[in-house]
Structure 1
């Protein structure tokens, strides 16, 4: 899978995974007024049927809450078992976590998730793919 940073994602401080049927669209970003130096950044990630996202790491300061909006997502963070999450279900990722797998669990239906990042305001890259 090829990962690129788009102009709109640079404005919100996120990276977008594109290609192989996975796309990321920033939907919100704001400083958290009562936590100096921290921001809330929200990204919607869409998976085409059967799409697989490569392994990656998020900004080292990022605490992430992810919730499935449509379909079913198979996700695995290093050190934890893979699990399929369905609409309304969620998981979290601790700062420094290595996300070793994410995929649409269906070969025939699309899937979407909302990823909510609490991150250092100065972190401009939210996702970095592993080197092949």
Structure 2
């Protein structure tokens, strides 16, 4: 993938976290772009990974994502609830969860009030899509 596309993805993701998103929507969550690549076997789609770090007790407001998302918990425990996959559940380091296209991520938070937590989110979405949108669809 070209550097300009990687740069645009990084700027878009950083803008969501650092300035254009109200603070209440990313309470104690830090999103860091990792990599994005166009998928040659799926024209018009990209695979994008981001690292999400939650401070103790940190959470994100209700949101939805472009495309499909697989999340892999790297450290700590993450409480997650998705409109399409059932009630809230706590996922520990080494566990993963899936968010289908069109679903709403109702709960996304660190399950601990004393320890940080992190996850790697892997998106398959349309090229150039805004990966995360807060609030109602």
Partner of 1:82: helix, strand, or coil?
A: strand
Please tell me whether the aligned partners of residues 16 and 25 of structure 1 are also in contact (alpha carbons under 8 angstroms).
no
| Mapped pair 1:108 → 2:114 | yes
- CA distance in 2 between counterparts of 1:70 and 1:56 reads 22
Q: Which has the higher helix share?
A: 2
Question: Partners of 1:10 and 1:100 in 2: how far apart?
Answer: 29
Q: Partner of 1:118 in structure 2? A: 124
* 1:11 and 2:24 aligned: no
2:103 pairs, out of 97, 102, 108, with 97
Q: Give structure 2 stretches of 5+ with no counterpart.
A: 1-5
Q: Deviations over 1:45-75 (max 9, x none)?
A: 000001111100112xx11100000000000
Q: 1:74 to 1:10 in 2, by over 3 A?
A: farther
Q: 3-state DSSP class of the match of 1:11?
A: helix
TM-score calculated relative to the size of structure 2:
0.81
Listed one character per residue, the Cα deviations across residues 67-101 of structure 1 (whole Å, up to 9, x for unaligned) are 00000000000151100000010000110110011
User: What RMSD, in angstroms, separates the aligned Cα atoms of the two structures?
Assistant: 1.8
Cα deviation for residue 21 of structure 1 reads: 0.9
TM-score computed with the length of structure 1 as normaliser: 0.84
Q: 1:55 maps to which residue? A: 62
Runs of 5+ unmatched residues, structure 1: 1-8
Q: Which runs of 4+ in 1 moved over 6 A?
A: none
